[in-house]
């Protein structure tokens, strides 16, 4: 009966606007991906039940085990149909696409037993929440090539409140799971999904190459602990496009390992390109670099960024013990509405994994470029503090106009503060209002300097996605 109905609807609507109304009956969905797949299966073939109550952990694991046989023969697509799919952690495989129908919701299990324990990351030396192990992420993968997680903006609900309570109550013996973590992998895509209420970080590619992150909507309560949006960590060649994050922590946090562990592991985050990104983060940064940056961060390009009601625009967090570097950072086109700090650099960020760090391991912060920026209702233009004896150099700010807040929650109880506070830094500026601190004074007044922004494109910028079909 339903088949006949669909048939009639398809005949009637013939791809017109009317058709859209009945799209829930559509038998085939188009999506964009680095690679299409030859084989496909549906979660229900493996006993999956989308009733919001039955656990689908075994169904996911069985489906993926079955589809792993197709890896060498054109790869496989696993379709999650409309419904509410409760599940614990499962592992992805190579040459594989997980496609979530736009009316599918993945509900993350709230039972710790549904998340296998895995070792701390070698570049961190320990878990971030506790010294013990880490709960594997809801969607996890390691040592993979060519893996895609996408959908028609379907929702992945981390149901994180129970984890936030445990974190706040100091009840965690192991580090909370993330929604999505891929380690040691090449050619990774995560796109067109909505992620809500993650237990902790949302999207964590670590030790990866060639990562595409596009069309993500990431939402968590602004007071939820450590719900960072996207954390590129010791990755080379990453592009982040057209994404929107509302978060209790940094919207994007670029990282590369923690103190002596990160220094020893020595894997930087480099060649990261961010375009068309919007953030709301009242207590954290739009884009943070660090604080864990001990493998180095180099060549980050951010363009066309919008921030609303956020604590800081770009924040560099580091300190003695971190070692390594943050260099060649380029930001161009940034609109800010209600911000505490447009730019913030902190050279005295504490937070060490243990007592084994080397206080003489000083980070190098160099060649940081910010241009074409407008801000409304900004409290502090720049709080830029380097490290005594280890100044942050080559800072350039050009073509920036900030309207300062007349009132602000951080200043209400204090006398009028200077919009700039600069210590242990060096650099220059051009066409910046309010007038910068002396350490950033315009070195060639009268000349219009534009801070650097690379004219070339990165290889990851040029990766074209293919149009693929899923028979949903
Ligand atoms: C995301 O969805 C939009 C349409 O909603 C589509 O144009 C785009 O190709 C998709 N991108 C990816 C990477 O899936
Ligand atoms: C698993 O894969 C095989 C082919 O290798 C197929 O014959 C079988 O039906 C699959 N199992 C399920 C439950 O679909
Ligand atoms: C994954 O790759 C890393 C780095 O090459 C290696 O150290 C590790 O043993 C691999 N893990 C697995 C499960 O193959
Ligand atoms: C995706 O869904 C979220 C809410 O679930 C919505 O806010 C957002 O606008 C949607 N994005 C697209 C591209 O449709
Ligand atoms: C200055 O910045 C604004 C955006 O804030 C931009 O529209 C304009 O093109 C920039 N001017 C130059 C000379 O780059
Ligand atoms: C300006 O920012 C303050 C917080 O610093 C906020 O309370 C106020 O509502 C904002 N004003 C406008 C017009 O957005
Ligand atoms: C300026 O920054 C320095 C170094 O962080 C700090 O010690 C000092 O209190 C700040 N001054 C003001 C007026 O905020």
List the chain domain ranges. 25-213, 228-472
CB 312 within 8 A of CB 339: yes
Over range 185-205, report the average pLDDT. 98
Over range 203-217, report the average pLDDT. 98
Query: Which residue lies with its CA nearest to atom 13 of ligand 2?
Result: 46
Q: Is the pLDDT of residue 21 over 90?
A: no
Q: How far is the CA of 398 from the centre of ligand 5 (A)?
A: 9
CB 425 within 8 A of CB 463: no
Phi, psi of 42 (to 5 degrees): -115, 145
25-213, CATH topology level: Pectate Lyase C-like (2.160.20)
- The confidence band for 132, taking pLDDT boundaries of 50, 70 and 90, is confident
Residues with CB under 6 A from ligand 6: 338, 377, 379, 405, 408-409
Query: Which residue lies with its CA nearest to atom 14 of ligand 2?
Result: 45
Secondary structure of residue 430 in the 3-state scheme: strand
Point out the ligand 4 atom lying closest to the alpha carbon of residue 155. 5
Query: Which residue lies with its CA nearest to atom 7 of ligand 3?
Result: 184
pTM: 0.93
399 lines ligand 5 (CB under 6 A): yes
Q: How far is the CA of 151 from the centre of ligand 1 (A)?
A: 9
CB 87 within 8 A of CB 109: yes
Pinpoint the alpha helices (H) of 227-367.
259-265
Over range 68-85, report the average pLDDT. 96
Query: Which residue lies with its CA nearest to atom 7 of ligand 4?
Result: 217
Q: How far is the CA of 211 from the centre of ligand 1 (A)?
A: 16
What is the spatial distance between Cα 197 and Cα 222, in angstroms, rounded to a whole number?
A: 10
Q: How far is the CA of 411 from the centre of ligand 6 (A)?
A: 12
Q: Confirm or reject CATH 2.160.20.10 for domain 228-472, answering yes or no.
A: yes
Q: Which region among 212-221, 276-285, 344-353, 404-413 has the lowest average model confidence (pLDDT)?
A: 404-413
Q: Is the pLDDT of residue 1 over 80?
A: no
Query: Which residue lies with its CA nearest to atom 11 of ligand 1?
Result: 32
Angle at 195 between CA 180 and CA 159, to 5 degrees: 90
Q: How far is the CA of 433 from the centre of ligand 7 (A)?
A: 20
Q: What integer pLDDT is reported at residue 25 of this predicted model?
A: 46
Q: Which region among 16-25, 78-87, 106-115, 193-202 has the lowest average model confidence (pLDDT)?
A: 16-25
Q: Is the pLDDT of residue 276 over 60?
A: yes
Q: Is the pLDDT of residue 414 over 90?
A: no
Q: Is the pLDDT of residue 352 over 60?
A: yes
Q: What integer pLDDT is reported at residue 24 of this predicted model?
A: 47
Phi, psi of 338 (to 5 degrees): 65, 95
Q: Do domains 25-213 and 228-472 have the same CATH topology?
A: yes
Point out the ligand 2 atom lying closest to the alpha carbon of residue 46. 13
The total number of residues shown for the chain amounts to 472
Q: Which residue has the tokens 């505490």?
A: 340
Name the average pLDDT for the chain: 93
398 lines ligand 5 (CB under 6 A): no
For the chain, what is the largest distance between any 2 Cα atoms, rounded to a whole number of angstroms? 78
What is the spatial distance between Cα 63 and Cα 44, in angstroms, rounded to a whole number?
A: 9
- The confidence band for 409, taking pLDDT boundaries of 50, 70 and 90, is low
CB 223 within 8 A of CB 246: no
Q: What integer pLDDT is reported at residue 293 of this predicted model?
A: 98
Residues 215-225 as b/e (b if ≥16 CB within 10 A, e otherwise) read bbbbbbebebb
Which DSSP state fits 250? Answer: -
What is the spatial distance between Cα 38 and Cα 54, in angstroms, rounded to a whole number?
A: 30
194 lines ligand 4 (CB under 6 A): yes
Point out the ligand 3 atom lying closest to the alpha carbon of residue 207. 4
Over range 114-139, report the average pLDDT. 96
Question: Which residues are catalytically annotated?
Answer: 249
CB 450 within 8 A of CB 398: yes
Task: Point out the ligand nearest to the CA of residue 337.
Answer: 6
Q: What integer pLDDT is reported at residue 410 of this predicted model?
A: 59
What is the spatial distance between Cα 250 and Cα 224, in angstroms, rounded to a whole number?
A: 11
First to last CA, the chain: 18
Secondary structure of residue 1 in the 3-state scheme: coil
Secondary structure of residue 332 in the 3-state scheme: strand
């Amino acid at each position: 009966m339903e088949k006949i109905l669909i048939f009639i609807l398809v005949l009637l609507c013939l791809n017109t606007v009317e058709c859209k109304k009945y799209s829930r009956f559509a038998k085939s969905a188009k999506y964009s991906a680095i690679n299409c797949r030859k084989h496909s299966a549906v979660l229900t073939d493996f006993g999956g039940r989308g009733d919001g109550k039955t656990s689908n952990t075994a169904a996911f694991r069985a489906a993926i085990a079955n589809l792993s046989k197709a890896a060498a023969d054109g790869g496989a697509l696993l379709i999650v149909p409309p419904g509410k799919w409760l599940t614990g952690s499962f592992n992805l495989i190579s040459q594989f696409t997980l496609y979530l129908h736009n009316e599918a919701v993945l509900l993350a299990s709230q039972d710790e037993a549904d998340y296998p324990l895995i070792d701390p990351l070698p570049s961190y030396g320990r878990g971030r929440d506790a010294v013990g192990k880490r709960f594997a992420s809801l969607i996890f993968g390691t040592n993979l090539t060519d893996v895609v997680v996408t959908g028609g903006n379907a929702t992945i609900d981390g149901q994180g409140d129970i984890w936030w309570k445990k974190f706040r109550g100091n009840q965690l013996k192991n580090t909370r799971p993330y929604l999505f973590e891929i380690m040691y992998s090449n050619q990774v895509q995560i796109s067109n999904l909505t992620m809500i209420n993650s237990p902790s970080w949302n999207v964590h590619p670590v030790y990866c190459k060639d990562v595409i992150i596009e069309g993500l909507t990431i939402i968590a309560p602004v007071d939820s602990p450590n719900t960072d949006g996207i954390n590129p960590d010791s990755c080379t060649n990453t592009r982040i496009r057209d994404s929107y994050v509302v978060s209790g922590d940094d919207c994007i946090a670029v990282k590369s390992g923690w103190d002596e562990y990160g220094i020893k592991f020595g894997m930087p985050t480099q060649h990261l390109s961010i375009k068309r990104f919007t953030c709301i983060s009242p207590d954290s940064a739009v884009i943070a670099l660090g604080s864990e940056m001990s493998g180095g961060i180099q060549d980050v390009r951010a363009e066309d960024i919008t921030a609303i009601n956020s604590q800081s625009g770009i924040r560099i967090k580091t300190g003695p013990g971190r070692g390594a570097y943050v260099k060649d950072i380029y930001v161009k086109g940034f609109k800010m509405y209600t911000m505490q700090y447009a730019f913030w650099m902190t050279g005295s960020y504490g937070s060490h994994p243990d007592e084994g760090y080397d206080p003489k391991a000083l980070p190098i912060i160099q060649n940081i470029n910010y241009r074409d920026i407008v801000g409304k209702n900004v409290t502090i233009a720049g709080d830029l503090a380097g490290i005594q004896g280890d100044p942050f150099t080559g800072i350039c700010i050009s073509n920036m106009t900030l309207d300062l807040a007349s009132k602000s929650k951080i200043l209400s109880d204090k006398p009028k503060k200077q919009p700039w506070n600069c210590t242990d830094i060096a650099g220059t500026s051009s066409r910046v209002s309010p007038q910068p601190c002396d350490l950033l004074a315009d070195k060639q007044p009268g000349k219009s300097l534009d801070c650097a922004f690379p004219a070339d494109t990165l290889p990851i910028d040029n990766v074209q996605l293919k149009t693929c079909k899923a028979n949903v």
